[in-house]
Every structure is written in C-alpha cells, then in structure tokens.
Amino acid sequence: MPQDEDLLLAVLNSAPVVDGVRTEQLVGEAGKELATRYGGTGTPGELAHLRSVREALQDLIRGRADATGELNSLLEKTVLVPEATPTGLDWELVAPPHRRLAVRVVMAWSLVEEEMPGRLRACANTRCNLFLIDRSRPGTAKWCSMAVCGNRMKARVHASRKRESGPSS
C-alpha cells in the first residue's frame, strides 16, 4: 500500500537532525497532525507507540539492535480479518485503537522488506537521521535527498581531497 509506505517513511523520518540537533516531531500538534493525516487520532498513547516503533525500526534497519521483541509486544492482540469481495480479499486490521497506526507502520516495513529487500535504508550522511526507500533501477541510492545530503557529502569528499593534496602551486 503506497499510503502505508508514506506512513512508514513519515514515522521513520519524524526525528530529523536540524542544525546538528535531533528534533522530535511525534509530540504535540505536529505529532497529532502526522497521525491524523494517516488515519490516526494523535492521542498521547498513539504517539508514544509511534515513537517506540520508530526507534525499534531505526535500530533494525541500521543493524544496531534486535528490536523484534518490542515489535512483537506491540503486535499482541493484532489480527487481520479477511472479507471476500467480488475482486478478491479485503483485510481488516483489528488492533487496540491506540496501537493501530503503529501496527500499520510495522506491516508497511515488513512489506517493503519482503518486496524490496535492502531498499529501505538510512541516509548515507552520518549526520542525517533520515531514511529512504530506494526505488532506483540499480538500487544504489544513498541519500535521503540528493539536493541536500548528496551535495553535502560530495562537497565534504571534495574538500577532503583538496586538503590531502595540499596547496596547488
């Protein structure tokens, strides 16, 4: 579901680094706006589950920790109920209301990992805290944004090479 891929990236990217400081967008009005945009309510409990899922998935994607226990705890009492329609099956997500949006994030992550293995990754700029889904044909995208992080990284490499080569004569 493309909307849930957007939800996944919105949650993963909800703690951007601004001027060298990690910010938090899953609190207050900003958090409520993000949640309601994707069908949530924005309650404090729902936002807490989204923050928890974000941290667990960021750790998993970066390979820093095995956060599957935390995800399994969130997924308790979650069921997908099928309903036959003339065009196939529709699946209804049944989960506690304050967990439903976070469960959708986990389901979107799982689907991306299954359908596009290795394409969900952290930005290669170590000073960035954003993630991307690489949809390029060769699967070589590195940065959340070529215009921002890509240019910054290339400028750093260029400056480093200039320093290493010393002053030109």
Phi, psi of 86 (to 5 degrees): -60, -20
Percent of the chain past pLDDT 90, that is, above it, reads 68
Residues 136-153, mean pLDDT to the nearest whole number:
70
Model confidence over 20-78: pLDDT tens digits? Answer: 899 999 999 999 999 999 999 999 999 999 999 999 999 999 998 888 999 999 999 99
Closest CA to 24 of 48, 7, 5, 60: 48
| pLDDT score for 124 | 87
β 88-94/131-133 pair status: unpaired
Domains and CATH numbers, the chain: 2-165 (1.10.3300.10)
Write out the E strands in 40-143. 79-85, 88-94, 120-122, 131-133
| pLDDT score for 163 | 67
Residues 141-156, mean pLDDT to the nearest whole number:
65
Residues 75-98, mean pLDDT to the nearest whole number:
95
Indicate whether 156 pLDDT > 60.
no
